[in-house]
Structure 1
Amino acid sequence: MKFDDKIPIYYQIKQYIYKEIIINHLTPGSKVPAVRQLALDLAVNVNTVQRSLRELISEGVLESQRGKGNFVTTNPEILNNLRKNIVEEQLSLMYDHLASLQLTPDEMIQALTEYVNKRKETHHG
C-alpha cells in the first residue's frame, strides 16, 4: 500500500479497510487479519494498525472477540452507512474541486452524467 504523506497513516489504513469491506474482500462476519500480519502486509508500525482497528471497533465496523480476533460487523445498517459515508466523502471532494473551477451545481450534474455515460460506453460497449 502506498501512503500519502499529507494524511495520517492510521486514517489511510481505516480507509483501506473500509474499501476492502465495501468491495467484499472482507465480508460481513469474516475475520480481519491479525494486527501483526496487517502491519507486515502494509509495512507500518503495529501501534499504527492497532489505532486504526481500535477506531473501527469503536465505530462498530469491526467487532472484537476476545481471544479470537477482530471480525467485520454483520450489522446491515452499519455496513450501509459505511458505504453511503464513503461515497458521500468522495462526492464532497469532487464537488469542492468542481466548485473551485466555478461550475454551478447544474453544470456539475451535467458533466458527471456525460462522464458516466462516456465511461459506460468505453467499458461496456
Structure 2
Amino acid sequence: MEFDDKVPIYYQIEQYINREIIVGNLAPGDQVPAVRQLALTLTVNVNTIQRALAELIRDGILVSERGKGNFVTTDTAVLAQMKQRVIEDELAETYDHLAGLGMAPAEMVAALEGYIKERKEGGSHD
C-alpha cells in the first residue's frame, strides 16, 4: 500500500479497511486479519494498525470479540453511513481540486456527466 505523507497513516489504513468493506472484500460478520498480519501486509508498525482498528471499533464499523479478534459489523445502517461518508470524502476532494482550477459548480456537473457518458460508451481515462 502506498501512503500519502500529508495524511496520517492510521487514517489511511481506516480508509483502506472501509474500502475493503464497501467493495465486498470484507463482508458483514467477516473477521479482519490479525493486527500482526495487517502490519506485515501493509508494512506498518503494529501500533499504527492498533490505532486504526481502535478508531474503526469506536465508529462501530468493527466489533471486537475478546479472544477471537475483530469483525466487520453486521449493522447495515452503520455500514451505509460509513459508505456515505467515504463517498462524501471523495466528492469533497474532487470538488476542492476542480474549484482550485476555477470551475463553477455547474461546470463541474457538466464535466462529470460528460466523463461518465464517455466511460459508459467505452472511452478510457485510466
Q: Fold conserved (TM > 0.5)?
A: yes
**1:68-94: CA deviation from partner (whole Å, max 9, x where unpaired):** 000000101111111111111111111
Q: Is 1:111 the counterpart of 2:111 in the alignment?
A: yes
CA distance in 1, matches of 2:9, 2:22: 20
**Partner residue of 2:24?**
24
CA distance in 2, matches of 1:3, 1:95: 22
Gaps of 5+ in 2: none
**Partner residue of 1:5?**
5
Question: What is the Cα-based RMSD across aligned positions, in Å?
Answer: 0.9
Alignment of 1:68-107 (within 5 A): 68-107=68-107
2:121 partner SS: helix
CA distance in 2, matches of 1:112, 1:30: 35
**Partner residue of 2:35?**
35
2:49 partner SS: helix
**Partner residue of 1:120?**
120
Runs of 4 or more above 2 Å deviation: none
CA distance in 2, matches of 1:54, 1:110: 41
1:27 partner SS: coil
Residue 122 (structure 1) shift: 1.3
**1:45-73: CA deviation from partner (whole Å, max 9, x where unpaired):** 10000000000000000000011000000
**Partner residue of 1:54?**
54
TM-score relative to the length of structure 2: 0.94
Residue 4 (structure 1) shift: 1.4
CA distance in 1, matches of 2:121, 2:77: 33
The AA in structure 1 aligned to 2:66 is R
Aligned residues: 123
CA distance in 1, matches of 2:67, 2:100: 50
Aligned-pair identity in percent equals 58
